[in-house]
Amino acid sequence: SNALLLLFLLSMALPQVATTIPLFQLFQQLRLVNTLHGLILLEGSLLAPFTVWTLVSFIRQVPFDLEEAARIDGANMLQAICLVLVPLLRPALATMFIVNFIITWNELFYPLVFATQSAVQPLTIGLVQLTQQNVGAGTARPWDLMSTLSAVMIVPVLLVVVVAQRSIVAGLTRGAGR
């Protein structure tokens, strides 16, 4: 168990540049380059070690007595997890959802490599392209467009934080004393 967590931790220590070429070759063979499915799979697989490592620390804090009480009351293992563990982990799950969403939403490096077609590029690439527009041509950068796009990019993050915050607060105030 601890060896597996150490492996997860070591996989997070690898720099993005070190994994780019092997991942690109793999995704090219699987025909996932320039696809939304490829970007989603890539981000999910890269964030999985961080998410698992973080959630394990929360899971270890849940008293075993609660699961044992559910089992004594007739719940099987799956019911104990769904009815006892998941509600207690709601704040942690909501927090991880917010963190992973923000990391994915702000990702620039991998979409630059894995999404060269404009149809699948995220807004972060569009913002970078706006900053590079007309550079050196003697014209000013389009600050108005860059500011507008930046403001638009904040809206989904704010919505996710507001919605997930309710789960965090509800989970923290609910407690385990049922």
Q: Per residue in 37-55, pLDDT tens?
A: 999 999 999 999 889 888 9
Query: What's the pLDDT tens digit per position in 1-27?
Result: 678 878 877 878 888 889 999 999 999
CATH number of the domain enclosing 101: 1.10.3720.10
Exposure of 102 in the CB half-sphere (CA atoms within 13 A): 13
Q: How confident is the model at residue 100 (pLDDT cuts 50, 70, 90)?
A: very high
Block residue for tokens 């207690």: 88
- The least confident of 22-26, 48-52, 82-86, 173-177 is 173-177
As a whole number of Å, the end-to-end CA separation of the chain is 30
Q: Domain tally for the chain? A: 1
112 pLDDT above the threshold of 90: yes
Please give the residue range of the domain that contains residue 26. Answer: 2-174
Is residue 71 within 8 A of residue 80, CB to CB? The reply is yes
Closest CA to 22 of 34, 40, 30, 12: 30
pTM: 0.81
CA nearest neighbour of 126 among 108, 102, 143, 144? 108
